[in-house]
Structure 1
C-alpha cells in the first residue's frame, strides 16, 4: 500500500462519491474505481457499499479508514519532525484560504514564497470561510474572512470596506428600488448586508434578489445594469471611478470584512509555516 492509496480512501469517505473524488483529485473515474478495487483486494474486504446517495463504509471499511487516518497522521508527524530538524526550509505547508484572498492576493505571495523556498510542498484548499473554519485543524494555516477563530492564534491581515455599486445613481432624500445581486459567501457577510439594509430601508429597497456563485459574475451582472451589488474594496479595482457607489457605514463607521490568518499555537515551530506567516504579515493587501 502506498500513501496515495490511504489518501484516496480518506478522500472517498470525505466526498462520498467516486465521481466527486475523481474530480477533486483530477483523475478519471475508472482510475479511481480501479485503485479502490486494488485496495479492497489487498485487504481482502469490501470497504464501501454504494448507495443511491453516497459511498457508505462497511464495518471492515471503518476499521481500514481508521488505520488510514493513523498512517497519514504518522506520516505528517515524521515530516514535521524532519522539517524542524533540518536547517533548510522544506516539508509540506498546508493552507486553507478564503476564495477571494486566494484569487486576489495568494498567487503573488506563493510565487515569491516558493521561489525563496523551492523545497516546500504546498497543499492548498480554497473555499468560503465558514467551511474552512469547520475543518481548520487539518491545516497549518487558515486564511479566513469575517470573525476570527477564537480557539486559534488569529492575526489581522487587513480590513475590507464594503460598498454598494450600481450603474444608476444613488439619489439623496429619495428611496431607490433596484434588484440586489449577491454572490456565494459566508452567512456572516449576508448578515452584515441585511443589517445595513435594515437601517437604511428609507434609502434603498431591494425589489428582488439575484444570487450568483462567483464574485466576478456578480460584478459583471452589475456592470450590465441588472441591479446593485455589494462588493468589498479589494475587488473593486477601477470601479470607484467608473460607477456610482456608496460606502456602507453604520454609526459613522465603515462596514468591513476583516481578514485573518489563523493557526494553532506552536505550529510556527515548523520553519516552513513560520516563513509563510511572516510573508503574510509583511504583505500589503491593497
Structure 2
C-alpha cells in the first residue's frame, strides 16, 4: 500500500462519495473505484458499504481508516523532521483557505512560493471558513474570513469592504423593494448583511435567491434578477457599471476581515515560516 492509497481512503470517508472524491483529487470515477477495489483485495475485506447517498465504513474499514490516519500522520511528521534538520526548504506545507481567498489571491501566492521552494509539497484544502475552523488542527496554516481562531496566533491580512449592487438605482429616501441574491458563505457574513438591512428599512428584500458560488451571484445580479452584497475584492470591476451602495453602520464601513492563523511553534518548520513570511508581505487590496 502507498501513502496515496491511504490518503484516498481518508478522502472517501470524508467526502462520502466516489464521484465527489474523484472530483476533489482530479482523477476519474472509474480510477477511484478501481483503486478502492485494489485496496479491498489487498486487505481481503470490504471497506465501505455503498448506500444510495454515501459510503459507510464497515467495521473492517474503520480499522483500516484508523491505520491510514496513523500512517499519513507519521509520514508528515517524518517529512517535517527532515525539513527542520536540512538546510534546504522542503517537506509538506498544509494550508486550509477560504474559497474566496483561494480563488482571488492564492494562485499567485502559491505560484511565487513554489517557484522559490520547488521541493515543498503543497497540501491545500479550500472551503467555508466555518468548516476550516472546525478542522484547523489538521493544517499548518489557515486563511479564514470573519472571526479569528481564538486558540491560534491570528494576524490580520486585509479588510474587505462590503457593497450592495443592483442593475436598478438606489434612490435616496425612497423604498426600494427587490429580491436579494446571496451566495454560500459562513453565518458571520449573513449576520452582517441582515444587521445592515435591519437598520436600512428603505431597502426591503421581497424574496431571497440562494446560490452556491459568488461568481454565480454576480452573474445573477448582472442579469437583473436582484440585489447582491459583494466584497470589494471581487466587485471592484463592477463599480463603474452598476449602481451600488457601501454598507455602513454607525458611520463605519461594514467589512469582512481575512486572517492568517497558525499554532504556536509551527514557524519552526522552514517551509511554513517562509509561506507565512511571504503572505504577510503581500498587498491584497
Per the normalisation by structure 1, the TM-score is 0.95
Mapping of 1:274-285 within 5 angstroms? 274-285=273-284
Q: In 1, distance between residues paired with 2:20 and 2:239?
A: 40
Q: In the TM superposition, what is the alpha-carbon distance from 1:49 to its structure 2 partner?
A: 2.1
Mapping of 1:20-31 within 5 angstroms? 20-31=20-31
Q: Which runs of 5+ in 2 are unaligned?
A: none
Q: In 2, distance between residues paired with 1:50 and 1:182?
A: 34
Q: In the TM superposition, what is the alpha-carbon distance from 1:246 to its structure 2 partner?
A: 1.2
Q: In the TM superposition, what is the alpha-carbon distance from 1:50 to its structure 2 partner?
A: 2.2
Q: Secondary structure of 1:27's match?
A: coil
Q: Secondary structure of 1:68's match?
A: helix
* 1:64 correspondence with 2:64: yes
* 1:118 correspondence with 2:125: no
Counterpart in 2 of 1:254? 253
Q: Secondary structure of 1:171's match?
A: coil
Counterpart in 2 of 1:231? 230
Q: In the TM superposition, what is the alpha-carbon distance from 1:60 to its structure 2 partner?
A: 2.0
Q: Secondary structure of 1:170's match?
A: coil
Q: In 2, distance between residues paired with 1:168 and 1:37?
A: 56
Per the normalisation by structure 2, the TM-score is 0.96
Q: In 2, distance between residues paired with 1:168 and 1:28?
A: 44
> CA offsets, 1:87-143, max 9 Å, x none?
111111111111111111111111111111111121111111111112111111111
Q: In 2, distance between residues paired with 1:48 and 1:147?
A: 37
Counterpart in 2 of 1:144? 144
Q: What's the C-alpha RMSD, in Å, of the aligned pairs? A: 1.4
> CA offsets, 1:163-194, max 9 Å, x none?
11122221111111111111111111111101
Counterpart in 1 of 2:49? 49
Q: Secondary structure of 1:182's match?
A: strand
Mapping of 1:83-232 within 5 angstroms? 83-201=83-201, 203-232=202-231
Counterpart in 1 of 2:35? 35
Counterpart in 2 of 1:244? 243
Q: In 2, distance between residues paired with 1:265 and 1:273?
A: 12
Q: In 2, distance between residues paired with 1:138 and 1:88?
A: 24
Q: Secondary structure of 1:259's match?
A: strand
Counterpart in 2 of 1:82? 82
How many residue pairs match? The answer is 285
